[in-house]
Amino acid sequence: MKEEAALTPPEIAPRPPSTFVLELILGALTAFAPLSIDMYLPALPGIGGDLHANTAAVQLTLATFFVGLALGQFGAGPLIDRFGRTKPLYAGLAVYVLGSAGCALAPSVEALSAFRFLQALGGAVAIVVPRAVVRDLQSGAGAARMLSRLVLVMGVAPILAPLLGGALLGAFGWRSIFWALAGAGVVSLAAVFFTLPETAPPRHGRAPHLAQFGELLRDPSFVGHALAGGMLQAAMFAYIAGSSFVFITLYEVPPSQFGWFFGANAAGLILNSQINRRLLGRYSPGQLLQWAIWGSLLAAALVWTLAFTGWGGLWGMAGALFLFISTLGFIPPNSTALALENHGKRAGIASAVLGALQFTLAALASWAVSATHNGTAVPMASVIATGAVLGWASLTFPARRGKKARGEAPPASESSGRGKAA
C-alpha cells in the first residue's frame, strides 16, 4: 500500500474522467479478445468453404490468435511500464485495425491465420493496459471491485458477439465480421485518444529487464493467483472451443439458437461478477476467490460426469455448463487483484505476464479439445475438469507451503483474508 502512494502523486497521475466513463472505456478495451473470438465462431464453416480449407486449417486461425495474444501481452508489459500506458495503446489499436482489415481481405486460410496473428498482437495491448491502469489507481478490494465492473462491460461481448457475428454473416458474408472489428478498433482508438488519461508517465531510467520477470515468478502470491485464474480461464476457453460442436452437432441445437445458450452462460458470469463486487464490502478477495474455486471444481465435476455418462441430455449439460461458467464471475476480478497486489511499480509487466499466461493456457486448452475430438462431449468436459482441478491446486498448495515456511499452522479453512480485517 505504501507503493501505491508513491506511484500516484497529483503531479504524476492526472485525475481520470468520471469513474463510469473510465470503466466503460477500460471494459470495452478488455472486450477486444472475446469480440475477436466469438464474433467469427458462427462463420468458421463458411470460411472453410470460401477459402477451400479443411476444418483443421480453419481451427488453426483460432489457435494462431491465442498465440498472438500471449506473445503480444508478454511484449506489451515492458513497453507500457517504460513508455506509459497511452502511447503503446495507440500503437496497439492501430495494429489491431490493420490486422482486422487484413483478415477481411485475406485470399487464403494461410493469409487469414497470419493476419489473425497480427490482429492479436495489437489487441493484446488493449488487454494489458486496462489491468495496469486499474492497479495504478486502486489495490486490493478496490481493484477487485473495479475489475468486477470491467467484467460487466466485457461480459456483454460474449452475449452479443455470436448474435452480431451471425447477423453480419447472414447479411454480408464472413468478411464483414472483420470489417466490423476494424471499425470497432477505429472507434476505440478515438475514444482512448480523447478521454483516457496517462496514469503512469514514461520512465527515463533503464529499460525493464529479465530480472523483473524473475521477481514476479519468485512471488508465491503472484504465481499462485495467476495460475489459479489462468487455469480457470483455460477451462472457459475449452468450453468456447467445444461448445459449438457439443450444442449444434451433438445435441442438434439449430445454429440460430446456439447464441442464446452461449449468451445465457455469459449472463450468469456477468451477474456473479456484480454479486462479487457487492460481497467485497463484507468479505476479502481471497475468501471469495477460494469459495468460487471450490464452486467451479464441483460444477466441472458435474459437467464431466454428464458428458461421460450421457445423463441429462441437452438441458442437463446446458445447466451444468451454466453453473460452471457462472462461477467464473468471481474468479478473474479477485485472482487478478491479488496477483497484482504487490507489484504496483511494475504493474505493466505483471499484467502482461498474467495475460500471457492465461492466453497460453487458453491456447493449450483449445488445442487439447480439438486434438482429442471423438464425437462426444467428453474431450471438452475433460479439459474443463482438468483446468478446475489445476486451478484449485494452484491456489491451495502454494498457500500451504508459504504458511509452513513462515512457521504458521495451516488454519482449518485456507483463505487469503478475513473480510474487513484483512
- Predicted pLDDT of residue 294: 96
- C-alpha triplet 243, 390, 379: angle, nearest 5°: 30
Inter-CA distances, 400 with 188, 199, 363, Å: 43, 36, 29
CATH of the domain at 125: 1.20.1250.20
- Predicted pLDDT of residue 17: 62
What single letter denotes the amino acid at residue 58?
Answer: V
Write out pLDDT tens, residues 300-328: 999 999 999 999 999 999 999 999 999 99
Write out pLDDT tens, residues 325-348: 999 999 988 998 888 887 767 767
Task: Answer whether residue 412 is part of any domain.
Answer: no
Interatomic CA distance for residues 163 and 169, integer angstroms: 10
Residue whose C-alpha is closest to residue 63's, from 355, 363, 369: 363
Residue whose C-alpha is closest to residue 162's, from 47, 250, 257: 257
Q: Residue 88 pLDDT > 50, yes or no?
A: yes
- Predicted pLDDT of residue 304: 97
Residue whose C-alpha is closest to residue 74's, from 331, 335, 333, 360: 360
DSSP track, 3-69:
HHHHH--TTTSPPPS-HHHHHHHHHHHHTHHHHHHHTTGGGHHHHHHHTT--HHHHHHHHHHHHHHH
Task: Answer whether residue 7 is part of any domain.
Answer: no
Q: Residue 102 pLDDT > 90, yes or no?
A: yes
Task: Answer whether residue 419 is part of any domain.
Answer: no
- Predicted pLDDT of residue 417: 43
Write out pLDDT tens, residues 190-219: 998 988 888 776 665 555 555 667 777 888
**Range with the largest mean pLDDT of 104-108, 254-258, 276-280:** 104-108
Q: How many domains does the chain have?
A: 1
To the nearest whole percent, how much of the chain has pLDDT over 90? 34
Interatomic CA distance for residues 38 and 159, integer angstroms: 9
Q: Which residue has the cell 503472484?
A: 222
Write out pLDDT tens, residues 32-64: 888 898 888 788 878 888 998 887 788 788 888
Task: Answer whether residue 3 is part of any domain.
Answer: no
Residue 164 domain boundaries? 12-401
Quickly state the pLDDT bin for 267 (edges 50, 70, 90). Answer: confident
Average pLDDT in the 242-268 region?
A: 85
- Look up residue 174 and give its DSSP letter: T
Q: Residue 415 pLDDT > 60, yes or no?
A: no
Mean pLDDT of the chain: 82
Lowest mean pLDDT among 10-19, 39-48, 181-190, 262-271: 10-19
Residue 84 region by backbone torsions, left for phi larger than 0, else alpha for psi between -120 and 50, else beta: left
* Three-class HEC string of 225-269: HHHHHHHHHHHHHHHHHHHHHHHHHHCCCCHHHHHHHHHHHHHHH
Task: Answer whether residue 195 is part of any domain.
Answer: yes
- Predicted pLDDT of residue 398: 60
Quickly state the pLDDT bin for 400 (edges 50, 70, 90). Answer: low
Quickly state the pLDDT bin for 393 (edges 50, 70, 90). Answer: very high
Write out pLDDT tens, residues 76-85: 877 887 788 8
Q: Residue 248 pLDDT > 50, yes or no?
A: yes
Interatomic CA distance for residues 31 and 109, integer angstroms: 25
Task: Answer whether residue 1 is part of any domain.
Answer: no
Interatomic CA distance for residues 242 and 131, integer angstroms: 28
- Predicted pLDDT of residue 16: 53
Q: Residue 414 pLDDT > 50, yes or no?
A: no
Inter-CA distances, 59 with 18, 55, 361, Å: 41, 6, 17
To the nearest whole percent, how much of the chain has pLDDT over 70? 85
The residue ranking higher by pLDDT, 413 or 242, is 242
- C-alpha triplet 354, 355, 361: angle, nearest 5°: 95
Task: Answer whether residue 408 is part of any domain.
Answer: no
- Calculate the CA dihedral of residues 78, 79, 81, 84 and round it to 10 degrees: -170
Interatomic CA distance for residues 395 and 28, integer angstroms: 29
Separation of CA 38 from chain center: 13
Write out pLDDT tens, residues 105-153: 999 999 999 999 999 999 999 888 888 888 777 777 777 777 777 777 7
Encode burial over 377-414: b for 16+ CB neighbours within 10 A, e otherwise.
bbbbbbbbbbbbbbbbbbbbebbeeeeeeeeeeeeeee
- On whether the CB atoms of residues 65 and 116 are closer than 8 A, the answer is yes
Q: Residue 412 pLDDT > 60, yes or no?
A: no
Task: Answer whether residue 128 is part of any domain.
Answer: yes
Lowest mean pLDDT among 2-11, 102-111, 293-302, 316-325: 2-11
- On whether the CB atoms of residues 304 and 239 are closer than 8 A, the answer is no
Q: Residue 89 pLDDT > 50, yes or no?
A: yes
- Predicted pLDDT of residue 266: 83
